[in-house]
């Protein structure tokens, strides 16, 4: 029986059992006396003496039963008083936890159903503490994110205000060339704001767990060709080359739109950090265990101090010459890779180029 796991309950049952045994023994003494079971020297006693002893034993049996019953009640009272004190202590600890003492716990090192309940309450308190800590971290993250967004938006908005003032001044004086120039700069800043907002919305969906990844078998060659087409015009304008290399028959299960999003960010990053005449290589290969996609360039490279931070949101290197980036593209790439059960890594050397590797494991059904 599970109730007997508790040592105090076992002790209580033993004590009550002993009291009952004493009562039974005392009740049986008169009968045993009559048949001589407890009177080995019966022949030396007179009939009157035997009758007297027998009557005394019969009269003492009820008193002994009352006494043993009282002892049993005392044992029960002591046990339930201990249980009551334990319950009161548990209530105090629960109230302390509710009042804000996150370290309040019910002390119970014994076995049994009641202690099992107390252990579960302690586990619940630990879970609630963990959730509260997580919520606190989420609030801190939200606060920092809002602060970062505000900081990121200040620069383009301030620039737009300046450009607008210049355009208005030039419009009054007829400076069409200046108006055209600053209209183009305004468009760049608006594009920057749009990119910032779109990437933030996408990353927020990943954080909230509301982004649905719909996988199906896709041709890697077709995906890479589509990425190349996205940037073919820009690459031609900047006299750069995008080179594709991989098997035409390689397929893997993925969400095509999100993989395109990740690759677009990597190729855009490569174009931003290369100069005229440089090249960007998009290669892929499939093995029985994984799909490996590489985006490599021979551009300016990444400073060694930045390699461990480039996937952080809004991270801007003090060594980078890029003034347009907002520090969200690589974070989005990491989120997409993780949502597909994969990972992204980087290898770079200053002045030699950078290589980003997306690795997606292939899960085979048993």
Q: Tell me the per-residue pLDDT of 311-322, one tens digit each, with 9 for 90 and over.
A: 877 666 665 655
pLDDT band for position 366 (cuts 50, 70, 90): very low
Q: What is the pLDDT of residue 106?
A: 79
What integer pLDDT is reported at residue 159 of this predicted model? 72
pLDDT tens track for 155-175: 677 777 777 777 767 666 666
pLDDT band at 343 (very low <50, low <70, confident <90, very high): very high
Question: What integer best gives the mean pLDDT of the chain?
Answer: 75
End-to-end CA distance of the chain: 43
Please check whether residue 246 is in contact with residue 285, taking contact to mean a CB–CB distance below 8 angstroms. yes
Nearest to 317 by CA among 329, 302, 336, 301: 302
According to the model, what pLDDT value does residue 92 have?
A: 83
Read off the pLDDT of each residue in 237-263 and give the average, rounded to a whole number: 90
Q: What average pLDDT does range 248-273 have in this prediction?
A: 89
Q: Output the pLDDT for position 327.
A: 64
List, for residues 53-73, the tens digit of each pLDDT value: 455 555 555 666 666 667 777
State the DSSP code for 304.
G
Please give the pLDDT value at position 284: 94
CA trace torsion 308, 265, 338, 286 (10° rounding): -100
- pLDDT at position 346: 92
Q: Residue 40: pLDDT above 50?
A: no
Distance, CA of 128 to CA of 131 (rounded, Å): 5
Give the Cβ contact number of residue 163 at 10 Å: 20
Asked if 121 and 90 touch (Cβ cutoff 8 Å), the reply is yes
Burial of 357 (0-12, 13-18, 19+ CB in 10 A): middle
Cα separation, 290 vs 305, in Å, equals 30
For the stretch 282-311, pLDDT in tens is: 999 998 889 999 999 998 888 888 888 888
Here the contacts of 105-113 (C-beta below 8 Å, separation 24 or greater) are: 110/6, 110/7, 110/8, 111/5, 111/6, 111/7, 112/3, 112/5, 112/6, 112/8, 112/9, 113/2, 113/3, 113/5, 113/6
pTM for the model stands at: 0.53
3-class state of residue 325 by DSSP:
coil
Residue 149, pLDDT above cutoff 80: no
**Does the pLDDT of residue 341 top 50, yes or no?**
yes
Q: How far apart are CA 324 and CA 310, in angstroms?
A: 15
CB atoms within 10 A of CB 344: 20
Of the listed ranges 28-37, 135-144, 189-198, 213-222, the least confidently predicted one is 28-37
Structure confidence by residue, pLDDT tens digits, 99-111: 878 888 877 776 6
Distance CA 272, CA 268 (A): 6
Confidence at residue 38, expressed as pLDDT on a 0 to 100 scale: 45
**Within 10 A of 301 (CB to CB), how many other CB atoms are there?**
17
User: Rounded to an integer, what distance in angstroms lies between the CA atom of residue 233 and that of residue 263?
Assistant: 17
Say which DSSP state 305 is in.
G
User: What average pLDDT does range 10-27 have in this prediction?
Assistant: 66
Report whether pLDDT(342) > 80: yes
């Amino acid at each position: 029986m599970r109730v007997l796991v508790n040592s105090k309950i076992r002790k209580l049952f033993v004590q009550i059992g002993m009291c009952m045994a004493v009562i039974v023994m005392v009740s049986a003494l008169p009968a045993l006396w009559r048949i001589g079971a407890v009177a080995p020297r019966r022949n030396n006693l007179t009939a009157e003496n035997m009758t007297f002893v027998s009557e005394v034993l019969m009269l003492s049996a009820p008193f002994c039963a009352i006494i043993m019953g009282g002892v049993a009640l005392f044992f029960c009272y002591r046990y339930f008083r201990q249980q009551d004190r334990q319950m009161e202590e548990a209530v105090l600890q629960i109230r302390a936890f509710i009042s804000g003492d996150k370290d309040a716990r019910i002390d119970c090192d014994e076995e049994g159903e009641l202690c099992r309940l107390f252990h579960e309450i302690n586990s619940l308190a630990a879970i609630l503490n963990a959730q509260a800590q997580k919520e606190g971290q989420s609030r801190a993250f939200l606060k920092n994110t809002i602060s970062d967004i505000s900081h990121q938006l200040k620069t383009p908005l301030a620039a737009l205000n300046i450009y607008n003032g210049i355009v208005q001044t030039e419009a009054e004086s007829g400076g069409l060339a200046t108006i055209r120039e600053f209209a183009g700069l305004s468009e760049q800043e608006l594009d920057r704001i749009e990119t910032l907002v779109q990437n933030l919305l996408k990353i927020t969906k990943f954080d909230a767990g509301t982004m649905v990844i719909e996988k199906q078998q896709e041709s890697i060659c077709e995906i890479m060709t589509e990425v190349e087409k996205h940037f073919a015009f820009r690459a031609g304008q900047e006299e750069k080359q995008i080179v594709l290399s991989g098997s035409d028959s390689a397929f893997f299960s993925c969400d095509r739109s999100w993989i395109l999003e990740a690759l677009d960010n990597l190729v855009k990053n490569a174009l931003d950090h290369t100069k005229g005449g440089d090249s960007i290589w998009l290669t892929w290969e499939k093995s029985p265990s994984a799909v490996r996609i590489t985006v490599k360039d021979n551009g300016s490279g990444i400073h060694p101090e930045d390699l461990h931070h480039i996937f952080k949101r809004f991270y801007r290197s003090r060594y980078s010459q890029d003034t347009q980036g907002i520090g969200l593209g690589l974070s989005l790439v990491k989120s997409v890779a993780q949502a597909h059960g994969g990972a992204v890594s980087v290898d770079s050397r200053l002045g030699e180029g950078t290589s980003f590797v997306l690795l997606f494991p292939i899960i085979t059904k048993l």
